[in-house]
Structure 1
Amino acid sequence: MLSIFDIFKTGIGPSSSHTVGPMWAGYRFVNELAEKGILSSITSIRVGLYGSLALTGVGHGTDKATLLGLAGYRPDTIEPDDADTIFATIKEKQSLDLAGHQTIEFDYDTQLIFHNGESLPEHPNGMRIFASDANGVVVYFKSYLSVGGGFIVSSDEFNKPEAANGSEPADAIPYPFRSAAELLDLCQQHQLTIAQLTIENEVARHDGNLELVNEKIDGIWEVMNSCIERGLKMEGFLPVSGLKRRSANMYKTLTSNPEAMLMDHFAIMDWVTLFAMAVNEENACGGRVVTAPTNGAAGVIPATLAYYTRFISRNNQQGIRDFIATAAAIGSLIKMNASISGAEAGCQAEVGSACCMAAAALAAVQGATMEQVENAAEIGMEHHLGMTCDPIAGLVQIPCIERNGMASIKAITAARLAMRGDGEHAVSLDSCIETMYRTGLDLQAKYRETSLGGLALYARAQPIKMVS
């Protein structure tokens, strides 16, 4: 079983699997050295990046994130504005401060290697870290796998399902479930909504402290909403590509003509799209976001929730909590039974999962039955099946930013469509999740976050403007 706060984690952009996960890996590696009592003997660190972490690592900030982690910084607490400065200092001074314990020499060009064309056997997002003593002897090394959504496991842990999913023993909570069918049965048996059941499980994890659980859920929305607000105001250009940020100008256009809402019934769609793009522009710039369930898909759930808080008159604080709890329950089903990693299953596993989660949550807070909620989730996922992950130049910019806006509209449509029905439908959510995963495994590697196929080829034919 997974916690709400496993699915929704605060981190920095641009990628949960390529930035948040590797930062945790570096942080964890140094802690393991300390726990083994060998940290003081370490004089050299070497990092190898494999698979998607190598092929799109620079564009996703994997190199920066790994070194920040080794320096003792965590993705949930580091100030995003400080990250680039710290990284530049490490490269310039050719030294690395191991979590404040000691400083060692570190040459970025020779000690952090991108193994393009090579992958670790367990997962396409792989990395290895080696620690050597003064004699040049490797005294400790570990392989880590970034399995999506900021989850990190070692290669030893990977074949243990509970470790690979970041999950806990089922007997630790009152209402364990492994499938949507089990979840609905539990809700019916105990006369609970999906949100209520999820929160009950969370309260059990927090020693019965409902107030603390609510406070932490409120904190998730606070970070999401702050990300929207910042994204609406920030102007300038996206890093590396030099592409112009669009959200601030769109925001000015919409607010300068409010009467358009009265004349254009589809104007709300512009706002929802804007909310999602604002978040993902922030993510592309390395800002603070919430994995929802990943950074690449971080805009869908905040945008759909912003639609609920701004355009649904019967919204309230508990509705926000129920939205997040419902979305987390659906996200945990996807994480436990399939994947939320674009490198493993394509963008259907990221933006598709986010749309699935958002659709279910929006239906739930508008009074849908459990069957309608499950139907909304299935619709949201079904219409992303086969979606590739092919970022141009290895950056979480094209097609990712617009794609979040499109998925937000799909989520709203899915919720509305499900609520027009009675919950009966031909394909179950469980079957759709399994189909997504099998489809992802069938996708060629060039369509799974390697920037070797699809739209990514555009950059070779007509390079986008790149700046240093």
Structure 2
Amino acid sequence: MQSIRKIFKIGFGPSSSHTMGPGNAARIFKERNPKASSYIVELYGSLAATGKGHMTDVAIAEVLAPKSVEIVWIPEIELPFHPNGMILKSLSANKDILDTWTIYSIGGGDLADEKTKISVQSIYDKHSMKQILEWTHKTGKTFWEYVEETEGPEIFNYLAEVWSVMKAAIKHGIEEEGVLPGGLGLQRKASSYYVKAKGYNGSMMSRALLFAYALATSETNASGGRVVTAPTCGSCGVLPAVLYHLHTGHHNVSDKKIIRALATAGLIGNIVKENASVSGAEVGCQGEIGVACAMAAAAGAQLFGGTTSQIEYAAEMGLEHHLGLTCDPICGLVQVPCIERNAFAAVRALDSCSYAMLSDGKHLVSFDKVVRTMKETGHDLPSLYKETSHGGLAKNVEGED
């Protein structure tokens, strides 16, 4: 497994796979083609199907500016290796092709192809929850300590920056009002939910605040604001909402403990990314919202003093109960149903945490088995339910009279 920095990427929304990834690809291609006079970028499969809603063309054009770029949309063809394929071509002044590069945006802002994915260097010596749990039981240490031993204490400096960006996204989202960009006419809800939450007491107030925090980050993302992938842009509201709620509420969890919980959450996301996928175009929304819920549930269980077995159980439930979740964004925008899903997954994460904390940590279905099931389920899903906007809600809502 790679560094958890690869799970927590800081950047601009609305999509890690459709905005961050293609933008990064364009940046790399531009650097290796300093003599190019113009570019052609061909987008295939899911990148082409929902690219306009995700501002894929805008991200590419901004990076390649001031040189001109022609974007070619080919949604009906999927390149080998991954649904988010793209071919970049650099041209001379005479329109001769100087260089061609085929690359894939594999989720969470990462790029890979048949060669680069094989050559990725692993820094973790364990690659499954079973192996890591055995290590914790043998050493008496917990998940965040495994991250520290592997990546060094400097990882916490990066996670402190991650936490800072997460808090800023929530605060920004709570203050914003009006309609989100994209053409759906979707009103921002975070601000009003936050205000209404203050009028409640007890569990209703707690839940309303959790909704508000998740909505705030997701709306910041949907408007192209600065967020942290956790593990993707489309699911970036779940983990920050849970952590901010425990930080600012009556639990009053310190920044230091939050940052350690981020390390645990990152490790959970890393396990899934290593053994399955966090790409909606590859496995559906279960790989985004489902994994985000698992990460948040594990972080919450740690902050409530859970054992490593209880933390694993919380993560397992967070993912298990999102199995089969489709990715069918209306108009290809990271808005409907994405934003609401972040809010509901945040609540489900805390529910998973509470359920696990009431147990002794023993349960029938392991986290590793759920990850394997999620991968198989994702591969069995028809492509129209994997970030193409050709099925599900995208088809039925857009087709209304």
Answer yes or no: same fold by TM over 0.5: yes
Moved more, 138-147 or 341-350: 138-147
What corresponds to 1:213 in structure 2? Answer: 155
Q: Secondary structure at the match of 1:265?
A: helix
Question: 1:428-465, CA deviations, whole angstroms, 9 ceiling, x for partnerless residues?
Answer: 100000000100000000000000000001333237xx
Aligned to 1:146, the other structure's residue is in SS state: strand
CA distances 1:86-126 after superposition (whole Å, capped 9, x unpaired): xxxxxxxxxx32xxxxxx4x2x6xx2111121111111011
Between the aligned partners of 1:136 and 1:315, the Cα distance in structure 2 is 59
Whether 1:340 and 2:278 are equivalent positions in the alignment is yes
Determine whether 1:360 maps to 2:354. no
Amino acid at match of 2:192: N
Q: Which amino acid aligns with 1:243?
A: L
Q: Which residue number corresponds to residue 117 of structure 1?
A: 76
Paired position in structure 2 for 1:178: 127
**Which structure has the larger Rg?**
1
Q: Which one of the candidate residues 97, 122, 129 is aligned to 1:169?
A: 122
- 2:173 corresponds, among 220, 228, 231, to 231
Aligned match of 1:61 in 51, 55, 68? 55
**In the alignment, does 2:392 pair up with 1:454?**
yes
Aligned to 2:204: 266
Residue 139 of structure 1 aligns to a residue in which SS? Answer: strand
Shift of 1:5: 1.2
Task: State the Cα RMSD in Å.
Answer: 1.5
Residue 85 of structure 1 corresponds to none
What's the CA shift string for 1:260-303, capped at 9, x where partnerless? 21xx4322111101110111111110000000000000000000
Counterpart pick for 1:148 among 82, 86, 107: 107
Shift of 1:215: 2.3
Give the counterpart letter for 2:132 in structure 1.
Answer: L
Give secondary structure in 2 for the equivalent of 1:217: helix
Distance (whole Å) between structure 2 residues aligned to residue 30 and residue 190 of structure 1: 48
Aligned: 1:425 with 2:363 = yes
| Displacement of 1:155 | 4.8
Question: Deviation at 1:393?
Answer: 0.8
Q: Which amino acid aligns with 1:67?
A: A
CA contact (8 A) 1:22 1:69 kept: no
Residues 382-430 of structure 1, C-alpha deviation per residue, up to 9 Å, x if partnerless? 0000000000111110000000000000000001101111111001100
**SS of aligned partner of 2:53:** helix
Paired residue for 1:328? 266
Check whether the contact 1:13–1:287 (CA below 8 A) recurs between aligned residues. yes
1:449, 1:177 → 2: CA distance? Answer: 31
SS at match of 2:253: coil
Percent identity of the aligned residues?
A: 41
* Gap regions ≥5 residues in structure 2: none
Letter aligned with residue 179 of structure 2? F
> Could you report, residue by residue, the CA deviation over 1:279-328 in whole angstroms, capped at 9, with x for unpaired residues?
11111100000000000000000001012112352511221111100001
> Hey, what does 2:164 align to over in structure 1?
222
User: Among residues 199, 210, 213, which one is paired with 2:148 in the alignment?
Assistant: 199
Query: For the residues of structure 1 that align with 2:162 and 2:300, how far apart are their CA atoms?
Result: 17
Matches of 1:356 and 1:60 in 2, distance apart? 25
Aligned to 1:19: 19
**SS of aligned partner of 2:52:** helix
| CA displacement at 1:193 relative to structure 2 | 0.8
Instruction: Look up the SS of the partner of 1:220 in the other structure.
Output: helix
Work out whether residues 16 and 148 of structure 1, in 8 Å CA contact, stay in contact via their aligned partners in 2.
Answer: yes
Structure 1 CA distance, aligned partners of 2:214 and 2:192? Answer: 14
The secondary structure found in structure 2 opposite 1:58 is: coil
Asked if 2 retains the 8 angstrom alpha-carbon contact of 1:25 and 1:69, the reply is no
SS of corresponding position for 2:32: helix
What do the CA deviations read for 1:232-251 (whole angstroms, capped 9, x no partner)?
01011111222111111222
Equivalent position of 1:254 in the other structure: 197
Moved over 3 A (4+): none
**Residue in 2 aligned with 1:139?**
98
Q: Which one of 35, 42, 47 corresponds to residue 41 of structure 2?
A: 47
Deviates most, 194-203 or 308-317: 308-317
Tell me the distance in 2 between the aligned counterparts of 1:223 and 1:447. Answer: 31
Matched, 1:128 2:70: no
Classify the secondary structure of the residue corresponding to 1:60.
Answer: coil
What letter is aligned with 2:101?
Answer: K
Kindly provide the amino acid, as one letter, of the partner of residue 188 in structure 1: H
Mapped to 2, the partners of 1:251 and 1:308 lie a distance apart of 16
AA of the residue aligned to 2:214: A
Aligned position for 2:3: 3
Output the amino acid matched with 1:348. Answer: Q
Aligned partners of 1:145 and 1:155 also within 8 Å: no
Instruction: Return the alpha-carbon distance in structure 2 between the equivalents of residues 2 and 362 of structure 1.
Output: 23
